[in-house]
Each structure stands twice: as structure tokens, then as C-alpha cells.
Amino acid sequence: MTPNPTPSAAAPLLRVTGLRVAYGGIQAVKGISLDVAAGELVSLIGANGAGKTTTLKAITGSLAAAGGDIEFLGRSIRGQGPWELVKQGLVMVPEGRGMFTRMTITENLQMGAFVRRDADVAADIDRVFSIFPRLKERRNQLAGTMSGGEQQMLAMGRGLMARPKLLLLDEPSMGLSPLMVDKIFEVVGDIHAQGTTILLVEQNASRALELASRGYVMESGEVTMGGAADDLLHDPKVRAAYLGE
């Protein structure tokens, strides 16, 4: 496996080439390249501080890139803001969830559809409730009173309300109980099976790679390995570094 593997056979929905991101004089992301094809679930794994979240923030316009390019749907999106990208179908569910804590579950879901101008919002809320029955049971509960796992469900549901062409998930299992981690990964798999393309950032390398078709490994701001998820899952270096073996 090579640091920047050959792109997938299908035309990429997202292509990142030579991306660099700096905080002051510190290079947080050092010229990485990766791609995600339509219909894929691709995992980006690595230790805390490797640059994974910074990469997602640069892709979605929350951080300015210092170099390289980001293409979505065949066009460069470097320099565009998050709201513009959400309208195009590039949606991120951030680490920390970012709930509107004084709004209800239903109101948070409605906020997820703020860029839409169609009449199908109510139907999509029903779809989210079918994926997350617990949210339906508590639809009038304030988001700030929910457990961490319930908030993660709501964050993912809110992301789906924007009808993403590509859904970026940043550490969805962070800080959750083992039972809730199982549920979240089950739902990520279900969302992908229903046709949503996903780029999944996770410290839980084994679970992330088990779901994915391909993966990348980040270390100190660089992509050091990449390839088929099953190959990475059984690679001795990956197992030693991230799977505790």
C-alpha cells in the first residue's frame, strides 16, 4: 500500500489533492491526497491529533486551505464557505454534535433542512424517525436534555435532513458507551446501505474499517497508508498502531 493510493475506479465525488492546512506557522495537514467515489464508505483513521478533523474542516470550508485543491462533483470548491457547500450536498456532522440545545428534537431536524426550498421536509423528518425510533419517541424533548448517544443520533439525523450527496462524519462514536457505539456504527452502515456516500473519520479503527470499502491512515498530518479497508484491517503496522496488537 502506498501513501496516496490509486483513486477508486469510479469517478470521484470528492477529490483532495496536495491539501495543506496551517495554524500559524504549524503545518497541521501536509499535502495529503484522497478521494471518495459516489456510493462508497471510506474511512480516515489515525490517532488523536493526526489531522483528521482539520482535514474535514478544510474540505467543508470551515478552515482555509494553505495549498492544494479540493474538488466536489468535478469542480474546485476551495475557498467556498460551509453554507455554500451544504447547498451543493457536502454535509459534515461535527465532533461534539453542535446541538441547538434549547430547541426540540423536531426543531433541530428542521434546522438541518434550512437550505432546502422543497415541500418534502416533513417526509424526511419521518425518514429520520424511522432510522432513529428513539428520536421519534422524544420528538418534543429539548436537545440539551438528551444523553450523548441520543445527541449523536440527532446530529446524524440533522445532517441527513440536508439530503447530502456526501456525508462527512467526524468521530461519531466519541465518548459513547459500548452499547451506544454498537448502535451508532449499525446506523452508519444502514445509512450507507440506503445510498448515502460517507467519509468517516474515526479513532475506533477496527469498527471504521469493518464498515468501509477503502481507508486511509493519517499520522502527523500526512496520509501514510491507504487501500482496501480489509487490507488495512489486517496490516501488521495498522494492527500494532491502532488495534492494540
Spatial distance between the Cα atoms of 222 and 131, rounded to a whole number of angstroms? 35
Single-letter code of the amino acid located at 89? G
Chain centre to alpha carbon of residue 49: 17
The interaxial angle of helices 121-131 and 105-112, nearest 10 deg, is: 120
Determine the average pLDDT of the residues in 203-227. Answer: 95
pLDDT in tens, 118-134: 889 999 999 999 999 99
> 51, 109, 114: which is closest to 82 by C-alpha?
114
For the chain, give percent helix, strand, coil, nearest 5: 35, 25, 35
* pTM for this predicted structure: 0.91
pLDDT in tens, 30-78: 999 999 999 999 999 999 899 999 999 999 999 999 999 999 999 999 9
Domains of the chain by start residue, with CATH = 12-242 (3.40.50.300)
pLDDT higher than threshold 50 for residue 7 = no
The pLDDT score that the predictor gives to residue 242 is 84
Spatial distance between the Cα atoms of 198 and 208, rounded to a whole number of angstroms? 11
Spatial distance between the Cα atoms of 63 and 207, rounded to a whole number of angstroms? 28
The pLDDT score that the predictor gives to residue 200 is 98
User: In whole numbers, what is the pLDDT of the chain averaged over residues?
Assistant: 91
Determine the average pLDDT of the residues in 200-227. Answer: 95
Residue 121 grid cell:
421536509
Provide the β-strand partners of residue 35.
15
Spatial distance between the Cα atoms of 168 and 40, rounded to a whole number of angstroms? 12
Determine the average pLDDT of the residues in 220-242. Answer: 94
The pLDDT score that the predictor gives to residue 25 is 82
Note whether 204 and 169 are within 8 A (CB): no
Note whether 143 and 99 are within 8 A (CB): yes
The pLDDT score that the predictor gives to residue 46 is 93
